[in-house]
């Protein structure tokens, strides 16, 4: 049975304080606003508001001029979204250049990928801050600044950031986090509905033993590895850029961004 693992970039490089804004009245980061039915198993479809901080990142197609879904992202306050840098850079030459701000569109609160319901908030981007040392296999993280702030609702709420920026990643080993997205299904097409899965954090050694050549280039002190061996519940292409969420009492905390995985063409 094929093993499937993902690498997640941690957020310790961020100057977190500059991205923390005051919460709007009656809303707190990482706390959902209505009852959520518990999920059984993983790889399941979720209902509206289950992950109100998940963002769909759309990129303008150079040929058709239409916006097309490319990646996930995570809302961290009313003006900022975190995603993977490779989702918002151009790879036309040997240099990676940030996409122009008008080439990116964000959908917050979206459930069905092809349906924009009344609860979906759409924002364009005014600035893109990729990690200054970004390379395809290193520092794969970017901050997107929305031109207009979002108004929080039951389907649009920011997640909390992990304030322990000096955390030893070995502390996470054995913990289970959640990922979500519209990644490609086994049929090779994007899922129409938002789906979610629970993944355990595993030791670096487990990923290296699975594929030393592949993971040896990306694993370091700023990356942790997570995944299952059942061949079904790991993130798929299209989930990249989304976050990995961990429950901390009554709140959910963002501790990583999907950046790299051993599954089909997602590399």
Active site residue 86: yes
Burial (Cβ within 10 Å: 0-12, 13-18, ≥19) of residue 12: middle
Active site residue 240: yes
Answer for the pair 72, 261: CB distance below 8 angstroms, yes or no.
Answer: no
Token pair in block for residue 162? 């992990």
Q: Which of 54, 140, 162, 239 is catalytic?
A: 140
36 CB-side CA count, 13 A:
16
Contacts 24+ apart (CB under 8 A), 119-124: 119/48, 119/153, 119/154, 119/155, 119/156, 120/155, 121/150, 121/151, 121/156, 123/147, 123/148, 123/150
Active site residue 92: no
What is the rounded distance in angstroms from the CA atom of residue 240 to the CA atom of residue 267? 10
What is the rounded distance in angstroms from the CA atom of residue 244 to the CA atom of residue 161? 11
User: Which of these, 162, 197, 156, lies nearest to 33 by C-alpha position?
Assistant: 156
Region class of 109: left (phi > 0), else alpha (psi between -120 and 50), else beta: left
How many other C-beta atoms are found inside a 10 Å radius of the C-beta of residue 47? 12
Q: Which of 50, 54, 80, 86 is catalytic?
A: 86
Token pair in block for residue 223? 């990356």
CA distances from 55 to 167, 183, 230, 250 (A): 26, 13, 27, 22
Active site residues: 86, 140, 240
């Amino acid at each position: 049975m094929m093993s499937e693992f993902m690498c997640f970039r941690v957020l310790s490089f961020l100057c977190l304080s500059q991205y923390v804004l005051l919460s709007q009245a009656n809303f707190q980061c990482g706390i959902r606003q209505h009852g959520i039915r518990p999920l059984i198993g993983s790889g399941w479809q979720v209902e509206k508001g289950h992950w109100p901080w998940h963002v769909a990142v759309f990129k303008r197609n150079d040929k058709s001029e239409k916006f097309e879904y490319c990646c996930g992202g995570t809302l961290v306050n009313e003006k900022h979204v975190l995603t993977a840098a490779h989702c918002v850079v151009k790879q036309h030459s040997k240099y990676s250049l940030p996409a122009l701000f008008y080439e990116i569109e964000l959908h917050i609160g979206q459930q069905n990928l092809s349906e924009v319901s009344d609860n979906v908030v759409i924002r364009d981007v005014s600035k893109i801050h990729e990690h200054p040392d970004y390379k395809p296999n290193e520092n794969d993280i970017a901050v997107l600044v929305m031109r207009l702030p979002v108004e929080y609702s039951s389907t649009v709420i920011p997640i909390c950031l992990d304030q322990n920026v000096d955390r030893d990643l070995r502390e996470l080993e054995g913990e289970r986090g959640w990922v979500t997205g519209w990644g490609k299904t086994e049929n090779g097409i994007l899922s129409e509905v938002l789906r979610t899965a629970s993944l355990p954090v595993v030791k670096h050694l487990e990923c290296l033993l699975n594929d030393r050549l592949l993971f040896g280039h990306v694993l370091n002190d700023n990356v942790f590895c997570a995944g299952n061996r059942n061949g079904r519940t790991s993130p798929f292409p299209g989930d990249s850029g989304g976050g990995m969420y961990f429950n901390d009492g009554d709140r959910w905390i963002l501790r990583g961004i999907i950046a790299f995985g051993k599954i089909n063409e997602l590399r």
